[in-house]
Structure 1
Amino acid sequence: MLKLANKVAVITGGGSGIGQAISELFAAEGARVHILDLNAAVAQHVVDGIVARGGTAQVHACNVSDQEEVVSAVESIGRVDILVNNAGVAHVGNLEKCTESDFERIFNVNVKGAYNALYAVVPVMKSNGGGAILNLASIAAVVGIADRFAYSMSKGAIYAMSMSIARDYMKDNIRSNSISPARVHTPFVDGFIAKNYPGQESEMFEKLSKSQPIGRMARPEEIAKLALFLCSDDAAFITGNDYPIDGGFIKLNN
């Protein structure tokens, strides 16, 4: 039996990386997937693949930092059973290397973007009798990671918002959880290494992989499987929790 049969899922940033893996798995499990993504062309490629495999999906060109655009997209969808706040951008640098524009960019996409999606979707879920919300936090929300000042700030906010939503809307049958990945091997990681460590790609990839005690980075589909569980009825008794998926990074890195 499909775990998300007849469910409507909104996934921000679902056109690449972890969001793509979540979109594809949710569609394979029967959800009608709606991807909110700034890069509509890339997201459409994901949708085309989902449809070719017999799934149902649609792209909504949307800048998650613009509340009006997010609200309009959600209104066009109608019913929403699942929200996955995945859209996000990164920044490398400590406080002194984080300019005001850097800080605002991270805040607007990662924090305000999640807020906008929550603001648009929660009333819809209330009117429909409930739903499941999953927010993509990070190990950076709970441990100090070098040169990730703005990014860590944003993921700490995601963690806190997730817990607040769980507390305030439990009575409305809305569950809210977050997951905290360590490093995940996505095209972003490859691009980051190529940009910042030209000629040292292999060595840096190995170094970053081994920063997880398990000895490798996560695969996007592994994150998607945890997301599927937490958004399905199998997790009906789970709310207000954060789930590290980190290869032992938080507790075994000693």
Structure 2
Amino acid sequence: MTKVPMRDALIEAAFALFPDRGYDGTTVDDIVARAGVGRRSFFRYFPTKEDVVFPDHEHSLTEMREFLEAARDDEDPIAKVCDAARMVLGLYADKPAFSVQRYRMTRQVPGLRAYELSVVRRYQQALATYLRARFAGSPQSTLRADVISASVVAAHNHALRSWLRADGDGDVWAAVDEALDLVRSAWHPDGSPAGAAAPEPDDVVVFVARRSTPMWRVVRDVEAALTPAGRAEESGQPADLADRTA
């Protein structure tokens, strides 16, 4: 018989006890007794009891940061953070029964919900840190990085939690891909909103007037030529009331 590594044995023991005793009713002593190891062994692997519920996130965070740090400058940063989010999905999709059990328990224990939120924030911060570096020097780089990273996390978690609420039924990879594709379609690779109007070219406007033309009329006509309302009037489109009554 293959021997189960001690770390895995402690996780299995904890999740075998939680259904009957509940999270709060299960002590570290209960877990080590069931696993057949000493109390010191538990804290060698898990600093707190909460850590045995979320055993793989520290390693996953490290992998995500390394993945993003290794990104090339010519890669689409939005696609890169979406790929990083998919790495986290494997923690859940590879162990559906475990993931569903943990999700149910987390919904019932406020302390675990708070712990989970802290983990989610750290993932989001890792994505934002990468995007801030990629957008450095561009307008609103920090704001765009934070908004995009939050969008990626929200899309990923929406699809994941829908799958967990369905007891792990369905193709969670396809659901997360669909959600992340929505995020990607909403942003250009440089982080600007998709569908945003392209900047207008720096047109040169030449204005000709008689020397005797009153200055107020010169100013009005120049302003009309340079404003959207004025250009609309030139093209035959209705301008605003102020332009019509000047």
TM-score (norm 2): 0.27
TM-score (norm 1): 0.27
Q: Which has the higher helix share?
A: 2
Q: Which has the higher strand share?
A: 1
More RCO (CA 8 Å, sep 6+):
1
